[in-house]
Amino acid sequence: MPLTPVLSRYWDEPQSWTLDSYRRHDGYQALDKALAMDPDDLIATVKASGLRGRGGAGFPTGMKWSFIPQGDGKPHYLVVNADESEPGTCKDIPLMLATPHVLVEGIIIAAYAIRASHAFIYVRGEVIPVLRRLQTAVAEAYAAGLVGRDILGSGFDLELVVHAGAGAYICGEETALLDSLEGRRGQPRLRPPFPAVAGLYACPTVVNNVESIASVPPIILRGNEWFQSMGTEKSPGFTLYSLSGHVTTPGQYEAPLGITLRELLGYAGGVRAGHELKFWTPGGSSTPMFTAEHLDVTLDYEGVGAAGSMLGTKALQIFDDTTCVVRAVLRWTEFYAHESCGKCTPCREGTYWLVQILRALENGTGTEADLKKLLDVSEAILGKSFCALGDGAASPIMSSLKYFRDEYIEHVRGGGCPFDPATSTLFEPVGAP
Ligand SMILES: Cc1cc2nc3c(=O)[nH]c(=O)nc-3n(C[C@H](O)[C@H](O)[C@H](O)COP(=O)(O)O)c2cc1C
Ligand code: SF4
């Protein structure tokens, strides 16, 4: 399957982030087209395109927009989720650095469609260069009359705010994000009501991922037939696959949905020389891991789901035979325990105990009974937590026990980690530029 660079097609050009560069690449032409359409037709077009949210769950974008009640007399809001904190997920930040205007154009189109006159980009606070680049792009767009009052003479008004988060993974969860944006501590909200009914300031709100919104201008400009000529029937279009870890050339590979890891590794120069693929994540650390037997799984929502995992954010973290799976899972679990917001008991207490058990296994004080305990605690978290962070914490443990039980047992019988720290790369990134 060939690569299909659409969003990433001119990332390597000098000054790719400026308004001038964007205009040279058909920038803001989709906006002209969209503003000439009725907002409802615009929603129907995005719905018919089959675009699915790129933030993890794959929810159809147009359908989400159609849930916003119209004629309700309340303000509507569009919030772009640019928190990107999942281990392995690294596509939105490069996109915003290289081509912030495609996101700005997508935001104006989406806000017009759902009749929102305020939009926010909630950016992970640590990424100062991204914040600056977005602020510059938004200022350029205001100066060019693309944002603000009476956009391009259409009568449509939009205020666009770039908001810096304070650095918590949970603030990527859409309802925690809304609480954080309102100035509260970021913790998930009980649903219903869903954000489409009562979101930001209790008003109808669409929360979409950066890549979802950035995919809208090319779809509007080039049409649904073009979009559906890529990908599969239920997962149409192009998307960014992020390859990291033990791969010869890590980076972003934009390809049709439904490509396989075997094909992507072909483009990325394969697993680093002299080593074999051991395990990998299809969609970031919170999606159940795969092994070499899954190299030909089609990387669309259905294919990955049928093989027992989730496409998530398409963050393909590659681990070779020098990696201790128990140690990798411990490092992820430490992350989830640290990032657990503490609102619900299964996740708050469970992630703490998972870390203790995994540490014991790594340092040689674990027992075979601990493997059952790991599963018991994971089962008490999975599907029983208040939000999906808990499920994400249980996934690497349950899937690694499914595929690498023998390696766990080796840790118990051999009195600790069998990998030699001198030769094992453990969790160190290898081959990064
Ligand atoms: C713990 C947690 C963290 C999340 N982090 C992000 C994130 O950084 N960016 C994102 O777009 N979605 C994230 N999500 C998913 C969002 O809740 C939401 O589904 C998404 O923003 C919807 O956008 P989409 O429909 O365009 O995919 C996270 C979910 C959870 C449970
Ligand atoms: S699952 Fe974890 S992160 Fe989510 S609400 Fe419960 S404690 Fe907070």
What spacing in Å lies between the alpha carbon of 87 and ligand 1's midpoint? 13
Q: Is residue 424 part of a domain?
A: no
Separation of alpha carbons 199 and 120, rounded Å: 13
Cβ–Cβ contacts within 10 Å for residue 198, how many? 17
Can you give the pTM of this predicted structure? 0.96
Which pLDDT score is estimated for 426?
Answer: 59
385 assigned to some structural domain: yes
pLDDT in the model for residue 425:
67
Dist CA 61 CA 48 (whole Å):
10
Domain boundary among 267, 293, 320: 320
Q: How far are the Cα atoms of 188, 242, 277, 288 from residue 281, in angstroms, in the given order?
A: 25, 11, 12, 7
Ligand 2 pocket mutation, candidates 385, 391, 395, criterion most atoms within 8 A of CB:
385
Nearest ligand, measured from the Cα of 392: 1
Is residue 312 a contact partner of residue 239, using CB atoms and an 8 Å limit?
A: no
What is the predicted pLDDT for the residue at 18? 98
CA of residue 368 to ligand 1 center, whole Å:
36
Q: What pLDDT, on the 0 to 100 scale, is given for residue 166?
A: 86
Distance 84 CA to ligand 2 centre (A): 17
Query: Is 14 inside a domain boundary?
Result: no
Residues near ligand 2 with C-beta < 6 Å?
170, 188, 340-344, 347-348, 385-387, 389-390
* Distance from Cα 269 to the centre of ligand 1, integer Å: 30
Domain range holding 169? 19-228
Site of tokens 């093989």: 307
pLDDT at 423 (0 to 100): 73
Find the 55 Cα to ligand 1 centroid distance in Å.
Answer: 5
Specify whether 267 is located in the same domain as 284: yes
Residue nearest to atom 4 of ligand 2 (CA): 387
Q: Which ligand is nearest to the CA of 344?
A: 2
245 and 377 share a domain? no
Q: What is the CATH number of the domain that holds 337?
A: 1.20.1440.230
The answer to the question of residue 8 being in a domain is: no
- 144 and 262 in a single domain? The answer is no
Mutate to test the pocket of ligand 2, among 177, 386, 391 (most ligand atoms within 8 A of CB): 386
Give phi and psi for 201, each to the nearest 5.
50, 35
pLDDT of residue 427: 47
Whether residue 300 sits in one domain with residue 151: no
Residue 124 CA, closest ligand 1 atom number:
8
CATH of the domain at 261: 3.10.20.600
SS3 content of the chain, % helix, strand, coil (to 5): 45, 15, 40
Which residue stretches of the chain have pLDDT < 50? 427-433
DSSP 341: -
Task: State the CATH number of the domain containing residue 120.
Answer: 3.40.50.11540
Do 216 and 346 share a domain, yes or no? no
Query: What residue type is 111 in one-letter code?
Result: A
Domain count along the chain: 3
Write the CA distances from 42 to 110, 219, 221, 345, integer angstroms: 9, 11, 12, 43
Nearest-angstrom CA–CA distance, 217 and 226: 13
Is there a domain that residue 174 lies in?
yes
214 and 245 fall within a common domain: no
| 270 belongs to a structural domain | yes
> Are residues 207 and 247 both part of a single domain?
no
How many whole angstroms from 153 Cα to the centroid of ligand 1? 34
CA distances from 411 to 62, 235, 240, 291, 416 (A): 49, 41, 37, 20, 5
Residue with tokens 């017009």: 112
For residues 172 and 276, membership in a common domain is answered with: no
CB atoms within 10 A of CB 221: 18
In a domain, 28, yes or no: yes
CA–centroid distance, 42 to ligand 2, in Å, is 36
Domain boundary among 180, 209, 228: 228
Q: Could you say which of 320, 348, 372 is where a domain stops?
A: 320
Q: Which residues line ligand 1 (CB under 6 A)?
A: 53-57, 59, 64, 81, 83-86, 169-170, 172-174, 207-209, 212, 387-389
d(CA 42, CA 31): 11
Within-domain flag for 428: no
Same domain, 302 and 330: no
CA of 94 to the centre of ligand 2 (A): 28
Same-domain pairing of 201 and 275: no
| 203 and 222, same domain (yes or no) | yes
If asked whether residues 345 and 224 sit together in one domain, one would say no
